[in-house]
Chain A
Amino acid sequence: MLRYVYAHDLPRHPKLAQSMFQDRADQFKTRLGWDVDVDDAGEERDSYDALDPLYVIWENSNGTHGGSMRFLPSTGPIMVNDVFPQLTGNQPICSPLIWECTRFCLSRESSGNVAGALTLGGLEIMRNFNIAHFAGVFDRRMVRIYRSLGFSPEVVGTMGQGRDRICLGLWDYSLEAYQRVALRAGLTTELSTLWFDLSFGGIGMPGPVAMVG
C-alpha cells in the first residue's frame, strides 16, 4: 500500500523508515554511484531529509520499503535552487503551487508496478492539495521511464554530458494524467483515494459534520 508520511512521523514506522533509507543507499550510492552520505547503519540521508519533507512510500506486505519519493514546497530550500542553479538559469523556482520531487527510489526486489503506484501517489497529492506543478532533477535515462508510467515531464534544462547528463523536469497536473497513470499502474482510483485518506484522513469518513447534531 501507499503511505504518505511526514519526516516527523517516520519514527512511528521504524521498519519502513529504516528500509527506505537503506534502499536509498543501495540505489543512489551502490547502483548509481552518486556522491551521497551513507551512515554506519547503511542509511542514506541528506540535508533535505532534515527539513521535514513529505514522503510517499510503497509499503510491502511485510512492512518494508518497496519504493519512495520525497516532496518539499519550492517556497523553502529545494535541491534544484540550491544545488543545480544552472538548470533554472540561476533564478530560483518559488511558488506554493510548485513542489519539488526528489529521491525517487525503488528497492531491488520491487515488482514492476511500484513505480506506477508512486507516480499515482504524486498525482493524488496534486489532485487533493491543488498543487499545480512538480519540479524535479533526474538522470536523462528516467525520461523513458516516466513516459512508460504515463506521466512525462517537460525537460526545461539540462547540464553535463553523456552519462552524467541531468535534466530539470516540470510536471503538470491534469485529470487525464491521473486516470492514465492509474490505468498503467493497474490500480483503481478508488483504491488510491482510500490509501490517501488512510494517511490524511478522509472527507467521507465520519468528520465534524457527522459528529454533531
Chain B
Amino acid sequence: MAPKVNLDFILEMLDAASTVDGLREIVERVCESFGVDHAMYHWVDSAGDHYYFGTYKDEWVARYQEKSYVRVDPVIIGCYQRFHPVDWRRLDWSSKPAREFMQDARDHDVGNQGYSIPIRGPKGQFALFTVSNNCDDATWDNFIERHSRDLILMGHYLNRKVLEFEPDRGPGQVQPLSPREIDALTLLAMGYSRAQVAQTLSISEHTLRVYIESARFKLGAINTTHAIARALSLGLIII
C-alpha cells in the first residue's frame, strides 16, 4: 500500500478545481495515491444538507440511502461531533444492526479497515473524510502510522475547497503567514538546513517545526518542499 502517486500532484489538482465534479475526480486520485481501496468525502452543510462523493460502488451508495444506514453506521455515530481521527476498529460494532451493516458493507467491497477524519467547519458545517481498505491489522497499523498526518491534512484541504463552493463564500484566500513563518520559509528556500534556520532565527528546531507546520497548513501543502514552492509561487516569500 505504498503511495503510487505524488501527493503534490493531488494538491495542484485541488487548487485548480472549480467545481464539485472536479473534487470527485480528486478523491479518486487520493485513493490511488495512498494505495487504498476506497476514499470518500461526506459533508453536511450549514443548511443541514448532505453531500457525498467517493469511490464506493454506486450500488452500495444507493443501498446505504435506501436502508437509511446513516442511522446505524458506527462511523457516522462515532465521528459526528468529534474532532479526532477515528480508526474503525475503535468503534462500537457490538449491536446487531451495526454487525449486519458491517457485513453488508463488506459484501459491497467497502473493506474491513477504515480511517475517518471528522472536520468541524464554520457555522455548524461538518465533514468526514474516510479511506478504507481490505487488509490485516498489522498492515493497517503500519499504514496509519505512516500516513495519518497526510490524511488529516488532505481531509482538511478538501473541506476548505468545498467551503469555497458554498453560495455565500468567495474563492478562498491563503491566510497570511506570520513574519516568523515567512522568515523560516525564506531561509529554507535559500537552502539553509533546519538547524541553520533555527540558529539564525534564535529559536529551537522544535519551535521551527511548529512554524513550518502552521505555514504548511495555511498554504495547503503536504510537505515543507511543497510549502516553499507554494509560498514562492504566491509571492509570499521572495529570494
Q: Are A209 and B156 in contact (CB under 8 A)?
A: no
Interface size class of A (residues with CB under 8 A): 35 or more
Query: Could you tell me the dominant secondary structure of chain B's interface residues?
Result: helix
Q: Please tell me the number of chain B residues within 8 Å of chain A, measured between CB atoms.
A: 50
Q: Which of A103-154 contact B (CB under 8 A)?
A: 125, 129-130, 132-133, 135, 154
Kindly name the residue among A8, A130, A135, A212 whose own CB sees the greatest number of chain B CB atoms within 10 A.
A130
CB nearest neighbor in B for A88: B178
B residues less than 8 Å from A92 (CB atoms): 175
Distance, CA A54 to CA B144, complexed state (A)? 22
Question: What is the 8 Å Cβ interface bit string for chain A, positions 92-110, against chain B (1 contact, 0 not)?
Answer: 1111111000000000000
A residues less than 8 Å from B38 (CB atoms): none
- Given contacts A97-B149, A130-B152, A208-B88, A76 and B178 within 8 Å (CB-CB): no
Q: A95 is contacted by which of B83, B206, B217 (Cβ under 8 Å)?
A: B217
Is A170 at the interface (CB under 8 A from chain B)? yes
Residues of B within 8 A of A (CB): 78, 81-85, 87-94, 99, 102-103, 106, 112-113, 117, 119-120, 137, 141, 144, 148-149, 152-153, 155-156, 175-181, 203-204, 206-207, 209-210, 213-214, 216-218
The 6 closest A-B pairs by CB, nearest first: A91-B178, A201-B90, A95-B217, A130-B148, A207-B89, A203-B89
Beyond the given A94-B175, A95-B213, A132-B149, please list 17 additional residue pairs across the A-B interface where CB-CB is below 8 A: A75-B120, A76-B120, A88-B178, A90-B178, A94-B217, A96-B153, A97-B149, A97-B152, A129-B148, A130-B144, A130-B148, A132-B213, A201-B91, A203-B137, A209-B137, A212-B102, A212-B106
